[in-house]
C-alpha cells in the first residue's frame, strides 16, 4: 500500500469519527485531535467539526484524483440509460 493510500485510509477514518451525529456542545475527543494534528490539521477540542469536514474532504479528493487512473476515453464509459 502506497503512502497516499495509507493517507486516504487515515482521512476516511477521521472523517467517520467527526462526521457522526453528535450533541451540539460535544468537543472533539483527544484521540481525534491527535489524528487531525498528525494529518496536518491543527485543532483544539473547540474546533467546529463543520470547519474540519470540508477541509478533510478537500484533501481526500485531491489524493483520490492523484492516485486514480486517468480516464481512457469512451471505451470504458458505461452505456447511457435509454
- The string of pLDDT tens digits covering residues 43-63 is 999 999 999 999 999 999 998
Asked if residue 75 has pLDDT above 80, the reply is no
Q: Looking at per-residue confidence, does 59 or 73 come out higher?
A: 59
Per-residue pLDDT, 15: 94
Distance between CA atoms of 82 and 67, rounded to whole angstroms? 32
Over residues 4-25, the mean pLDDT reads 89
Distance between CA atoms of 21 and 17, rounded to whole angstroms? 9
Amino acid at each position: 500500500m502506497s503512502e497516499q493510500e495509507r493517507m486516504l485510509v487515515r482521512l476516511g477514518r477521521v472523517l467517520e469519527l467527526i462526521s457522526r451525529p453528535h450533541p451540539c456542545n460535544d468537543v472533539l475527543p483527544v484521540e481525534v485531535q491527535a489524528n487531525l494534528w498528525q494529518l496536518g490539521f491543527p485543532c483544539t477540542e473547540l474546533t467546529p467539526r463543520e470547519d474540519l469536514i470540508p477541509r478533510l474532504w478537500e484533501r481526500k479528493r485531491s489524493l483520490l484524483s492523484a492516485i486514480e487512473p486517468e480516464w481512457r476515453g469512451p471505451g470504458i464509459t458505461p452505456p447511457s440509460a435509454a
